[in-house]
Amino acid sequence: LSDYDLWLKYNLIENSELSDSYSKITNSISISSESEVFKNLKKELSLALPKILNNKTKFQNGFTNETTLLIDTFKNLPTDLKPKIQKSIDSVNEEGFIIKSIAFNNKQLTIITAKKEVGLLYGTFKLLEFMQLHKPLTDIDVVDSPKIQLRMLNHWDNLDRSVERGYAGFSLWNWQKLPEHIDQRYIDYARANASIGINATVLTNVNANALVLTPMYLEKVEALANVFRGYGIKVYLTARFSAPIEIGNLETADPLDSEVQKWWANKASEIYKRIPDFGGFLVKANSEGQPGPQNYGRNHVDGANMMATALEPFGGNVIWRAFVYSEHDDTDRAKQAYDEFLPYDGKFKDNVVVQVKNGPIDFQPREPFHPMFGALKKTPLAMEFQITQEYLGFSSHLVFLPKLFEEVLDTDTYQKGKGSTIAKIIDGSLYRNKITVMAGVSNIGTDINWTGHPFAQANWYGFGRLAWDPYISSEQIADEWLRLTYNTDDAFVEPVKRMMLTSREAVVNYMNPIGLHHIFDTGHHYGPGPWVDNLGRPDWNPVYYHQTDTEGIGFDRTTSGSNATEQYAPHVQDMYNDVTAIPEEYLLWFHHLPWNYKLKNGEILWDGIAIKYQEGVDQVKTMIKTWDASKSYVSEQEYNDVKMLLQIQLKEAQWWRDACLLYFQTFSKLPLPDKVEKPTHTLEYYQSLKFPFAPGIKPKWD
């Protein structure tokens, strides 16, 4: 099944001229080392080239041939070749690479070189990518480096192999068969990640189980780390704050207790004995019931720095999450993380990074950016995106997320004047922070196609590309992914690319238009539940977020309301506070407005909301048409798979539209505009819908 191969299809090139020119470049390959990384890049070439070019490749050490592909680290290149590359090599970082055609001693060389071996792996994948994209290679000159140091997947995988918010089957990690059995999946997972530059993986759920830190599991983690190392990927684990009690027999997990500190130091040293390049810990503390330093009257700095001290001798990092909101705090949930963390700016140790979700609530189809970005100037902040579609239709809906990621990364925080974009904060160029991280909550599982929806592969791919370079466009990503995955024919790529690029706005329109948010049904977060008002905490209820009444709709977060706007830079505050200046896509996030408020296009708010819901449905209908027209470019199975999923998406877009509009209408008491299709059921019907089963719910222990 080709779905399994992701974007590494290595389809045969039919154009013989192109194929011949590639063959000339690659039919003799010089490789000098037998290290793990070299073995892996050689394996990749041996797999890919015969498929792409339908011929055999010869590996040797040296370049006797007229044309040779020479793959070696810079320090191992022939001395008289080095000056030709010196300038380029000086300009790349430790993981960067160079691909260059050079005439040398009457031979034509194509050189892949780098400071470190991992760069050679990235360079090799790039060369193969260029071939699959049919780009010319004869005069190639590529100089490339990742702009972010840690390009990381966060798996929310439990030890029982269920995946929190996972919609693509079970966890890849087969703890029962590890360490002895190395599933081919682990290797293919590592290949896929390396091909897009992902270099770190957190194997376990942020709602952590301390057991993973016991020797029995560490042995298994070590086996995975041994596979991933050869692909440049470091392993991280989530650390449950109360582990010293649960698996260490201590009575406390107080970070200022010397026994606790010793326990973590010993644990770190035990882990590093097994995994010398272990990355460190990702920690969710004092959030949604997880234990943390506050249980002992301490704060985030006490907790994070204690773990950082334990990891420091080995070069490990603590990634401390900022996703906190307290049950004892009734301030607007959107404000709480900023309030809690701002006083700690500059107080964390050098090996601590604070990981912040892109928006202040929780991975909604659209949120304004998290106010912590740019506000903490002395603490490195990691971006946390969610690749798995918890609030975006799981793996049934086609939503191209790089469009969302790009919107966030391009946003200007104005925290250091105009041009203080989130991309510049994340890549460290704005505040010169030492550690830079972009994390994505993985959407991968045991499904044959890895991600449930075939197009969700593009979200994994796109996340990796943006973590490498947060400035590339979502359009470029869609274009490349389609060519690598399906077909290089422009007649296929252009319309399907447009379909992908509109899919994110479609989901916003049919779920949460004009700044609405968190109106999802309880627990599973799948369908609409704007009426839900009976959950334990006010800020778990949709009615808290849309604040609808007979007068109007929306959450007033301006100076007259919760004043969440004060957490942004003055320019952004002014824009968000001013109902005429705020981009309308954030309107109801920040403003409570009357039903007859006039939108920029002249529609009244009620009509505008209804028309957006309809537009979302219509966009899905267009997606279906586009896919139908693409039938001849993909296999029958690929065609049918996506076609069926799009039908689900249409049905559910209509469900969202009808359920939300019928509910809001009980307040607005206004008729639906003509353009909007009439609901097929009553509000009571939508309110009565129950899910017998939805995957990915939180585990029982928290």
Q: Which stretches of the chain bind ligand BDP, using CB under 6 A?
A: 164-165, 206-207, 284, 288, 323, 362-363, 390, 698
By beta-carbon proximity to ligand BDP, the closer residue of 266 and 522 is: 522
Q: How far apart are CA 54 and CA 383, in angstroms?
A: 42
List, in sequence order, every residue forming a beta bridge with 202; answer none if it has no partner.
154, 236
Burial group, residue 508, by CB count within 10 angstroms (0-12, 13-18, 19+): buried
Structure tokens at 91: 């300009």
CA 96, chain centre distance (Å): 21
Q: How far apart are CA 264 and CA 254, in angstroms?
A: 11
Where do the H-state alpha helices sit in 486-527?
490-511
Q: Active-site residue among 340, 390, 406, 479?
A: 390
Q: How far apart are CA 620 and CA 123, in angstroms?
A: 38
Q: How far apart are CA 617 and CA 627, in angstroms?
A: 16
Q: How far is the CB of 52 from ligand BDP (least distance, A)?
A: 40
Q: How far is the CB of 698 from ligand BDP (least distance, A)?
A: 5
By beta-carbon proximity to ligand BDP, the closer residue of 363 and 405 is: 363
CA 492, chain centre distance (Å): 26
Q: How far is the CB of 630 from ligand BDP (least distance, A)?
A: 33
Q: Active-site residue among 94, 160, 251, 288?
A: 288
Q: How far is the CB of 260 from ligand BDP (least distance, A)?
A: 23
By beta-carbon proximity to ligand BDP, the closer residue of 165 and 220 is: 165
Structure tokens at 341: 């963390």
By beta-carbon proximity to ligand BDP, the closer residue of 44 and 367 is: 367
Tell me if residue 34 is catalytic.
no
Strand, coil or helix: what is 69?
Answer: strand
Nearest residue (beta carbon) to ligand BDP: 362
Q: How far apart are CA 443 and CA 452, in angstroms?
A: 8
Q: How far is the CB of 525 from ligand BDP (least distance, A)?
A: 6
195, 135, 159: which is closest to 457 by C-alpha? 195
Q: How far is the CB of 391 from ligand BDP (least distance, A)?
A: 8
Tell me if residue 390 is catalytic.
yes
Secondary structure element (H or E) that encloses residue 456, with its range: none
Give the E-state strand segments of 85-189 in sequence order: 97-104, 107-114, 141-144, 150-154
Q: How far apart are CA 448 and CA 5, in angstroms?
A: 9
By beta-carbon proximity to ligand BDP, the closer residue of 385 and 686 is: 385
Q: How far is the CB of 384 from ligand BDP (least distance, A)?
A: 8
Strand, coil or helix: what is 333?
Answer: helix
Q: Active-site residue among 157, 254, 362, 427?
A: 362
By beta-carbon proximity to ligand BDP, the closer residue of 164 and 658 is: 164
Structure tokens at 136: 């010319």
Contact 667, 553 (CB under 8 A): yes
Residues designated catalytic:
288, 362, 390
